[in-house]
Amino acid sequence: MCMLGKGSNVLFEDEGYDGWIIETITNFTGIKQLDPNRVEVLAGTTNEQLANWLAERGLGGFEFASGIPGTVGGAVIMNAGAYGGEIKDIIESCEWMDEDGNVHNTPAEELDLSYRHSMFSDRFGIVLKAVFQFEDRDKEDIYHAMDELHERRWTRQPMEMPSAGSTFKRPENGFASALIRECGLQGISVNDAQVSEKHTGFLINRGQASCKDFLELVRIVQDEVYRKKGIHLEMEVHVIPKEGK
């Protein structure tokens, strides 16, 4: 079984998926204000929906995620972050279900949140909802910050092209995009899978790229960066195997 929000940061094998795929964004969305600064959010709610809901109520702290093209559930699992903010900065607790159907409520300090990592990176768990803590801010200031980040994202990233999002995690020394660019890999391709020339941290689909094409391009980039820089780039994108394991 595979739980899927909007499918960002995910690649499925070309053979498909041999199992149930449960999509959350249609019937598993919702936002509830628990008190003036605490908000409970169902996992299928998109980051954009939550960001706009909060802005309208003058609640700040989620602006960094307003343009991340995914759901709150995925953001918790990945400890999503951008422009200096991360989920771990604002989350209070997470309700989730284990493989036996038992429901748990885990406080933030036990979620093992770090760079693009949570406890769900190492174990099975279905995020059901999360509680976040925000702060009072001027509504217009929040909208202004969101607009600025939106402009930065569209100016610097290949948002106009299909992709699985930022392909590689940030290494300890430097940035993946800079390392790829310094190795002269911008624009290289495997069939329709290409390293974006606009932002080399993204591998884009120019038309009919397959998962196999993307993974071959990932291997080429990893090998060349390691050969020239001695640094291994770890994939941020999750590959879902046909068997669902």
Q: Which residues are catalytic?
A: 116, 166, 236
Instruction: Transcribe 23-84 into DSSP letters.
Output: E-TTTS--EEEEETTEEEEETTSBHHHHHHHHHHTTEES-GGGTT--SBHHHHHHHT-EETT
Measured in whole angstroms, how far is the alpha carbon of residue 244 from the centre of its chain? 20
Bridge-based pairing state of the strands 91-97 and 126-133: antiparallel
Q: 133 to each of 23, 76, 213, how far by Cα in Å?
A: 26, 14, 41
